Structure 1
Amino acid sequence: MLLTDAAAFRAAPDPAGTHSAACASGAFLVAPEGFSLAAQSALDNRYMASGTVAPERALAQHRGLQRALADEVPTVCFPGDPATPDAVFPNNVFATAPGRVIVGHMRHPVRQREAERADIRDFFTRVLGRTLIDLRTQAGICELTGSLVIDRARGIGYCGLSERCDPVGAAAMHAAFGLGVSFVFALAAGEYHTNVVMSVLASRALVICPEGFADPAAADAIAARYAPHVITLDRAEQQAFAGNCIALGPQTVWMSEAAADRLRPSTRWRFEDCGFRIRSVALDEIEKAGGSLRCCVGEIF
């Protein structure tokens, strides 16, 4: 069931049963080898910096991220490619659901090249035995778990429409991930991905910045489903990528060091009150490309 009306979503019950584990059993990354800023991505990503980046510093920070995440879940890293400078954010292109690996339909050609990688597809299909669902064959633009934030245990998807996801793509992702309910809404002007303005943590808590939504009623309807376990970010916290966080376990939330440093004391207390310890990794060099920690992490369910 796809819903586009905030009142209808607020009234809809959770889908019956448990759809999958609340947290991933593993994670995958793509190294920022030959790291640079993609001019095409800058057309609709206002979070990107201008100027140059330091590739070796980006690599060092990325290695630190892998080491840190490996403390919590098995974390594999695929090599990068200078021809695909945004590949450091693989969760937009490749995603998983139980028994499946899904390939997204990216908007920009520079990112479409990432989906052509046979090694990542083969890892999931030949090594892990997953069924491939290739959304490049349908017309809708859908940048997977960038555009779609998923409450895995409840089987609920939150899909923000922007240049990076259209209604046809939203419907395709709803089917590919096997979701019970998807709430489809417009992001605020200038927002490109849903996972920059909200996150669902371990299917029990919500991190959200209402200013990231075109319609405040949409944000209110989502928050009502998780009350009282709602962590509301102000615009400054959100723009520092605090909304681009992820729970890979039931008691830990991961975000970049810059995001953690920007949190107000009251926001830190809310994470703790919801049962999450904050862990952070320095990623400021990678953040120049317009994404942060959650964007770097592909989840294995």
Structure 2
Amino acid sequence: MNTTPAQLPHALVMIRPRSFGSNPQTIGSNTYQQTDEGLAEEEMNEQARKEYDDMVAALKKADITVLSFDDRTDPVCPDAIFPNNWFSTHPDGTLALYPMMAKNRRTERRQDIVDYLEAHYELKQVVNFAPFEKGSRFLEGTGSMVFDHTHGIAYACRSPRTQQEVFYKACETLGYKGILFEARDEGGRLIYHTNVMMWIGSNIAALCLEAIPEKQRNEVLTSLEASGREILLLTQKQVNSFAGNMLEVSDPEGSPHVVMSAAAWASLDSKQQELIKSQAHPLPLSLDHIEKYSGGSARCMMAGIHLPLKPGATP
């Protein structure tokens, strides 16, 4: 019997990097990403693979189900380590594919992974929003959207990678109420992905309220409070340390774990840490290299599986 709350994924798809690096096609919209500073390609990849391998080992030690796939040699995908942007899964058996802004990220979508999920899980339908790319309209999965699966709400901050038309179309198709807002970093630039400044667990909702214009704050905060969750308010400085990029996941026994980078955890004050500890097991991981050169962190590396497991199947 699955005791996992609907909000929490009970398994994770992750991609072991092969061609990791600072992506020149994404750095323009991702202010958290830095250039590679002349690091040798193999050095860049070795460090990323070590952080990835250590993360997977830590997740498995916590008894979290990880479905790890190797990146391919061709095509070259510097951001393949972030599968959450090209697909999402939902408790009703839906898998959705998404339109990506960077051309070299569109080839991250993999039929073999979809086929694997279909073979092991109750996959009832695949919804494909990727054709929106032809009209230069984008919505990058659970980077662009933070889902409250329990209450059927999707939150998104508008950016070049998260466009209104596709967002509301996805919400309509997937059966979620959409709440769209703006969020800006300390420099006044649009935050490229919603999951950089916001995450929702089973009993906690964290967000950087100060990043949202005052006239839009009430709608977002009121909706989160109405869900019954405790609100964890993040500062812009904490967002810079990827404290908004956490994911609460479940082990097979239904025990919750909040996965984040070590930098994100260290940025929280003692009361914030205690709040998380009161609801779940914190799992901080060393991801400094990946964070620096990709502008993404722990949550981005995990595509959550909410699909029901087929009777008799094992992940």
Question: Structure 2 regions of 5+ residues with no counterpart?
Answer: 307-315
Q: Which residue of 1 aligns with 2:313?
A: none
Work out which of the residue numbers 75, 78, 87 in structure 2 matches 1:85.
Answer: 78
Output the CA distance in 2 between the equivalents of 1:134 and 1:124: 16
Work out which of the residue numbers 146, 151, 164 in structure 1 matches 2:148.
Answer: 151
Correspondence 1:237 to 2:199: no
Work out which of the residue numbers 103, 108, 117 in structure 2 matches 1:124.
Answer: 117
| 1:76 to partner: Cα distance | 0.6
Work out which of the residue numbers 17, 29, 34 in structure 2 matches 1:49.
Answer: 34
Q: Which residue of 2 aligns with 1:39?
A: 24
Per the alignment, in what secondary structure is the counterpart of residue 17 of structure 2? coil
Q: Which residue of 1 aligns with 2:249?
A: 248
Aligned-partner residue type, residue 207 of structure 2: I
| 1:118 to partner: Cα distance | 2.2
Identity over aligned pairs, percent = 26
Work out which of the residue numbers 279, 286, 305 in structure 2 matches 1:300.
Answer: 305
| 1:228 to partner: Cα distance | 6.3
| 1:129 to partner: Cα distance | 5.3
| 1:227 to partner: Cα distance | 5.8
Q: Which residue of 2 aligns with 1:169?
A: 166
Q: Is the 8 A contact 1:26 1:75 kept in 2?
A: yes
Alignment of 1:1-301 (within 5 A): 21-50=6-35, 51=37, 52=39, 54-70=44-60, 71-81=62-72, 83-97=76-90, 98-115=92-109, 117-128=110-121, 130=123, 131-138=125-132, 139=135, 140-179=137-176, 181-188=177-184, 189-202=189-202, 204-214=203-213, 215-226=216-227, 229-249=230-250, 251-273=256-278, 275-288=279-292, 289-301=294-306
- When the two chains are superposed, the root-mean-square deviation of aligned CA atoms in Å is 2.0
Runs ≥4 residues deviating over 6 A: none
- How many residues in Structure 1 have an aligned counterpart in Structure 2? 278
What CA deviation, in whole Å up to 9, does each residue of 1:58-93 have, x standing for no partner?
A: 101101111222224311111114611111111011
Q: Is the 8 A contact 1:102 1:176 kept in 2?
A: no
Output the CA distance in 1 between the equivalents of 2:178 and 2:168: 9
Question: Structure 1 regions of 5+ residues with no counterpart?
Answer: 1-19
| 1:219 to partner: Cα distance | 4.1
Q: Is the alpha carbon distance of 1:129 and 1:276 closer, same or farther for their aligned partners in structure 2, counting shifts above 3 Å?
A: closer
TM-score by length of 1: 0.86
Q: Which moved more, 1:253-262 or 1:71-80?
A: 71-80
Q: Is the 8 A contact 2:179 2:220 kept in 1?
A: no
Q: Is the 8 A contact 1:213 1:219 kept in 2?
A: no
Per the alignment, in what secondary structure is the counterpart of residue 56 of structure 2? helix
Q: Which residue of 2 aligns with 1:13?
A: none
Output the CA distance in 2 between the equivalents of 1:219 and 1:151: 12
Q: Is the alpha carbon distance of 1:218 and 1:174 closer, same or farther for their aligned partners in structure 2, counting shifts above 3 Å?
A: same
Per the alignment, in what secondary structure is the counterpart of residue 27 of structure 2? helix
| 1:231 to partner: Cα distance | 0.8
Q: Is the 8 A contact 1:125 1:132 kept in 2?
A: no
Aligned-partner residue type, residue 77 of structure 1: S
Aligned-partner residue type, residue 104 of structure 2: V
Per the alignment, in what secondary structure is the counterpart of residue 254 of structure 1? strand
Output the CA distance in 2 between the equivalents of 1:72 and 1:41: 34
Aligned-partner residue type, residue 259 of structure 1: A
Aligned-partner residue type, residue 305 of structure 2: I
Aligned-partner residue type, residue 74 of structure 1: T
Per the alignment, in what secondary structure is the counterpart of residue 274 of structure 2? helix
TM-score by length of 2: 0.82
What CA deviation, in whole Å up to 9, does each residue of 1:84-132 have, x standing for no partner?
A: 11111110111111322211101110111212x2212222335535222
Q: Is the alpha carbon distance of 1:247 and 1:111 closer, same or farther for their aligned partners in structure 2, counting shifts above 3 Å?
A: same
